[in-house]
Amino acid sequence: MSHARTTVSNTPSSEASASHRSVAPEPVVGDGFENPVPAFSRLVALQRAAGNQVVQRMLRGATPGSTMALRGRSPAVQRHDGPTILSPEGEDKGKGEAAEKTPEAKKMEDIRAMLDKSAAGKAAIAVIDKYKVPVDLKYPGPGSVFQGPAPGKIKILATKTVAEAAFTLVHEANHAEASNLGTKADINKLGREQYVKSMLDEETTSTVNAILSKLGMSADDRKGVTASPVLQARYEKAKKAALDAKKSAEEAEKAAWQSIRDAFTDGTLVTSNTKEAYDIYYGKAWDKVHKPPEKESL
């Protein structure tokens, strides 16, 4: 959702419900290599300097009695699918894979796994991946925001659970997409009424997307998700009423969307930073740009 700056978007908050608003491992050593014989030590040193294939060619050309023939035995070089465990590259790769994930990295993994269970969730992840929008899961607040300019950054309140953060990410991903596509309302070019309408429409779609990221899950997947997106119950109620009135599925979806749109102007939803209804908030933002207060005369 947006702060007073057009590049920032605040997550909706509800007066009725505040809750919505290593240490690297040691290098791996293969069995039998703990105490290599001197000849093998020289082989390893040569291997590192010249590469495995060169060493093999040299060994094949060595005389039977030479030290390089290692008394007629094949060289004891243990191999894996990738580089040998004796190579610096192999050691570094192993260290990187074994490094422990940070709590934030693990949380983001869980968020992605949850959003992968619905079309709206997958679409949100596709947006942040496509535009390489970083996600900060340690944001102290207030609220959660998308902050531009493009590609921007999504900042999610640190206290949110995985599910809550996932729904917030879906919401903010819509703002991120608008910013990166260049479709976000331009406060400098649009008139006041058009600007406010455009921002409220974007906020509404962002909120509906978050709702659909849960409703689009299977019944079994939803059982494990105790949190709900902001205004999910209101959306479902409006949709059901339209269907009960014999409206088409498309008309019911529009009615549910409009119900969420109304929440931004009837006082149901307020901004997380100023606690104002969104039409007032965006109107003031436009006024600040186009009607700055006059300077007091000395």
Torsion of Cα atoms, 48 then 49 then 50 then 56, to 10°? -40
What ranges make up the beta strands (E) of 159-223?
none
CA distance 38 to 14: 74
**Tens digit of each residue's pLDDT (9 = 90 or more) over 180-237:** 999 999 999 999 999 999 999 999 999 999 999 999 999 999 998 999 999 999 999 9
Helix (H, G, I), strand (E, B) or coil at 34: coil
Give the domain ranges of the chain.
8-21+103-290, 38-98
Asked if 58 and 68 count as a contact pair (C-beta separation under 8 A), the reply is yes
Question: What residues contact residue 144 under an 8 Å CB cut-off, 6+ apart?
Answer: 1, 10, 11, 154, 155, 156, 157, 160, 168, 171, 172, 272
CA distance 262 to 247: 20
Q: How many other β-carbons are positioned within 10 Å of the β-carbon of residue 101? A: 11
Asked if 121 and 170 count as a contact pair (C-beta separation under 8 A), the reply is yes
Residue 236, both tokens? 């479902």
pLDDT at 292 (0 to 100)? 72
CA distance 204 to 269: 11
Residue 187, both tokens? 């406060």
Average pLDDT over every residue of 10-14: 56
**Tens digit of each residue's pLDDT (9 = 90 or more) over 225-240:** 999 999 999 999 999 9
Pick from 3-7, 28-32, 294-298: least confident: 28-32
CA distance 174 to 110: 20
Asked if 185 and 264 count as a contact pair (C-beta separation under 8 A), the reply is no
Confidence of residue 12 (pLDDT cuts 50, 70, 90): low
**Tens digit of each residue's pLDDT (9 = 90 or more) over 50-99:** 455 544 555 455 444 444 444 444 433 333 333 333 334 444 555 555 46
pLDDT at 167 over 70: yes
Helix (H, G, I), strand (E, B) or coil at 145: strand
CA distance 154 to 158: 12
In this structure, are strands 135-139 and 153-157 parallel, antiparallel, or unpaired?
Answer: parallel
pLDDT at 291 (0 to 100)? 84
